[in-house]
Amino acid sequence: MNYHGILLTDTMVHGPRIRPFGAYRIAAELRKVGYNMLVIDMFSSIGSQQFYSLLDKFISDETLFVGYSSSLFSITRKGGVFGKTNISLGTINSYIKAINPKIKVIYGGSNSKELVRFNQKNNNNLGIDYAMHGYSEHMIVDFVNNLRDSKSQKFSNVHNRLYEIDYDFKGECYDFHNSWHEWHETDFISDGESLPLEVARGCIFKCKFCNYPLLGKNPNDMSYFKKEENLLRELTTNYEKFKTLHYFVLDDTFNERTDKIEMMLRIRDKSKLDLSFVGFNRIELLARKKEQIPLLKDLNFIGFHFGLESLNFPSAKSIGKGIQLTEILSTIDRLRTVYDDKLAITSNIIIGLPHETIDTINAAIPMYSNELAGIDRVTFSGLVITNQTHGESEFFKNPEKYGYNILPENDGSWTSEHWSSKECEQIAKKLEDKLKYSKRTRLGPFMATGLQSLGFDFLSTAKHTFIGFPWQTVNERSKQFRANYLNNLKSL
């Protein structure tokens, strides 16, 4: 088959992983309007010689474009893919255009702004013609139609021959409510593979540090939920084709409405499937809406991530997350009691928030091993203030108000009265490394979801410590997973 478009995607994860959804979403939407599409996943992990042979095989005179979906990988200082390959994206794109000089190369995903900054800093567009920002299901169809019809593209900025497309970056022209996702036979989903799922798009909250473009959704507006019948269609089709029962829900906040959980229960009951879910939830809502925990248990929502962000109450309150430590602990205790401890919980702490200092961080460290032992894994990250995802956080728009000075590189760097982004990143890494390989830290639900696709049991894996886990077996199964996928691609 000749392909009109080829999408390249990957993650920075070497072992257990969930499919990076963006490329597959774009391919699915283009197929619906008649284009033949192919996604090449793990493109930077399969070896340059084999990767180039795939490009030779699949690029033809009919290929209009090659695209990158960057949401789960980033560009190195030399223009490569972080942590994966020494091959420059520029080298790859030169190879692509040598096969078909008429091809256009486009770069999308949530890290698309990273390419723009790289181009501005180095005066090097890496052979990429267009950067598309934001939710792109509508824009990509316009883009490919214009390529097919030899029409000009609608762009907002251009620098060094890199054109930026962002006129619908919030996806407002796309009818998400009536949408559904359909995996394709050429995606080569393995039997029982855990898959990503969108139930709703957007977030009703507006955390001060968050730069996602769809914040502050009206909680009474059901248009940002998918229709029940479409979700049912996705879940039943995935089971019929792939025997998939376990899902990573991508929603910014799964439990923003109790009736959303009730909707998923209705869908589950109609499907007659033994489904399970992991995803992002707001602990404040569980604390205040007491009915949610038993409903979530009934749904078999067995993996929770809570963005606590800080154990220092003034810091948490300053970003819009005002919940006291005692309420956090009592909610986690109630969760574990209702679930009979058959669940897994992770949380993240951001280093560098307002009212946070090295003293408040040090004061909280013992809590991670003691009071917060009910959380299987706590991760740490340094505060980043940027408009990388084409949305602008409150911190980015009014940095002085919160005590920040954004550095001119606009790569997320900042300074404040107490410290800098670089110092906070170093502190976060030190804490992460210290806790990760302690007897206290377990793998948690997200890593266990990826490992489930490799044949591991979800709950026992999520509750296992990093120390003593059979990582050699993980590496062997991951290698075999990649080999099977590559062989399937070669068979097309």
What does the H/E/C string look like for 373-386? CCCCEEEEEECCCC
Query: Where in the chain are all domains bearing CATH 3.80.30.20?
Result: 186-471
Query: Where in the chain are all domains bearing CATH 3.40.50.2300?
Result: 5-173
pLDDT digits over 333-389, tens only? Answer: 999 999 999 999 999 999 999 999 999 999 998 888 787 889 999 999 999 998 766
Domain 5-173 grouped into CATH 3.90.1150.10: no
- Among the four given CATH numbers 3.40.718.10, 3.80.30.20, 1.10.3720.10, 3.60.15.10, the one describing domain 186-471: 3.80.30.20
Q: What distances in angstroms separate CA 11 from CA 68, 75, 352, 377, 489, one per listed residue?
A: 12, 12, 26, 21, 18
DSSP state of 411: S
Residue 7: helix, strand or coil by DSSP? strand
Query: Is the pLDDT assigned to residue 40 strictly greater than 90?
Result: yes
CB 399 within 8 A of CB 406: yes
Q: How many beta carbons lie within 10 A of that of residue 357, not counting itself?
A: 15
> How high is the pLDDT of residue 230?
98
Query: Is the pLDDT assigned to residue 23 strictly greater than 70?
Result: yes
Which of 349, 306, 345 shows the shortest CA–CA distance to 462?
345
Q: How many beta carbons lie within 10 A of that of residue 115, not counting itself?
A: 26
Enumerate residues 6+ apart whose C-beta is below 8 A from 149.
Answer: none
> How high is the pLDDT of residue 134?
93
Which range (14-23, 130-139, 236-245, 346-355) has the least confidence?
Answer: 14-23
CB 135 within 8 A of CB 169: yes
pTM of the entire predicted model: 0.94
The token pair at 444 is 């948690």
Which of 466, 407, 474 shows the shortest CA–CA distance to 433?
466
- Most distant pair of Cα atoms in the chain: their distance: 64
Hunting for tokens 């040090």 — which residue is that? 362
